Structure 1
Amino acid sequence: MSDDDRYRAPALDKGLDILELLAGIDGGLTQAEIGKRLDRSPNEFYRMLDRLQKRGYVTRLEGDRFALTLKLFGISQLHPPTRRLVSYATPLMRELAIRTRQANQLTVFDRGQVVVIAQQEAPGYWGISVRVGSHISLYDTGSGHVLLAFSTEEQRRVMVAENPLDAGREMPPSLASRLDRIREQGYESMPSAQTAGVFNLSAPVMAGDGAAIAALTVPYLPLVNVPDAPDLSDCTHMLLDTCRTLSSMAGAGVETG
Structure 2
Amino acid sequence: MTDEDDSDRYRAPALDKGLDILELLAGIDGGVTQAEIAKRLGRSPNEFYRMLDRLVRRGYVTRLEGDRYSLTLKLFGLAQLHAPVRRLAAYATPLMRDLAVQSKQANHLCVFDRGAVVVVAQQEAPEYWGISIRVGSHMSLLNTGSGHVLMAFRSPEERSLMIAEYERHVDDNSQPDDYRDRLNMIRERGYEVMPSAQTGGVFNVSAPVLGPDGRAIAAITCPYIQVLNVPEAPSVDQVCQMIVATAKKLSELSGADVGKA
With normalisation by structure 1, the TM-score equals 0.92
Deviation at 1:86, TM superposition (A): 0.8
User: Structure 1 regions of 5+ residues with no counterpart?
Assistant: none
Q: Distance in 2 between matches of 1:118 and 1:26?
A: 33
| 1:7 and 2:11 are equivalent in the alignment | no
Q: Distance in 1 between matches of 2:4 and 2:49?
A: 26
**Aligned residue in 1 for 2:156:** 153
**Aligned residue in 2 for 1:54:** 57
Deviation at 1:25, TM superposition (A): 2.3
Q: Distance in 2 between matches of 1:247 and 1:167?
A: 34
With normalisation by structure 2, the TM-score equals 0.90
Aligned residue for 1:7, secondary structure, equals: helix
**Partner residue of 1:109 out of 107, 112, 118:** 112
- Root-mean-square deviation (CA, aligned residues, Å) is 2.1
The answer as to whether partners of 1:69 and 1:158 remain within 8 angstroms in 2 is yes
**Aligned residue in 1 for 2:181:** 177
Deviation string 1:98-151 (CA, Å, 9 cap, x unpaired) is 000011111111122111111111110111111211111111100010111111
Instruction: Go from structure 1 to structure 2 and tell me whether the alpha carbon gap of 1:48 and 1:153 turns closer, same or farther (over 3 Å shift).
Output: same
Q: Distance in 1 between matches of 2:5 and 2:215?
A: 39
Mean Cα deviation higher: 78-87 or 186-195: 78-87
The answer as to whether partners of 1:186 and 1:256 remain within 8 angstroms in 2 is no
Q: Which amino acid aligns with 1:7?
A: S
Q: Distance in 2 between matches of 1:202 and 1:5?
A: 55
Fraction of identical pairs, as percent: 64
Q: Distance in 1 between matches of 2:55 and 2:158?
A: 18
Q: Distance in 2 between matches of 1:221 and 1:177?
A: 27
Q: Which amino acid aligns with 1:231?
A: S
**Aligned residue in 2 for 1:67:** 70
Q: How many residues align?
A: 257
The answer as to whether partners of 1:26 and 1:154 remain within 8 angstroms in 2 is no
**Aligned residue in 2 for 1:205:** 209
Deviation at 1:75, TM superposition (A): 2.2
The answer as to whether partners of 1:57 and 1:68 remain within 8 angstroms in 2 is yes
Instruction: Go from structure 1 to structure 2 and tell me whether the alpha carbon gap of 1:188 and 1:32 turns closer, same or farther (over 3 Å shift).
Output: same
Q: Distance in 2 between matches of 1:165 and 1:100?
A: 35
Deviation at 1:44, TM superposition (A): 1.6
Deviation string 1:228-253 (CA, Å, 9 cap, x unpaired) is 11111211111111101111111113
User: Structure 2 regions of 5+ residues with no counterpart?
Assistant: none
Deviation at 1:219, TM superposition (A): 1.0
**Partner residue of 1:33 out of 36, 55, 75:** 36
Q: Distance in 1 between matches of 2:253 and 2:136?
A: 24
Q: Distance in 2 between matches of 1:166 and 1:26?
A: 27
Deviation at 1:67, TM superposition (A): 1.6
Deviation at 1:39, TM superposition (A): 3.5
**Partner residue of 1:137 out of 135, 140, 149:** 140
Alignment of 1:187-206 (within 5 A): 187-206=191-210
The answer as to whether partners of 1:136 and 1:165 remain within 8 angstroms in 2 is no
Deviation at 1:56, TM superposition (A): 2.6
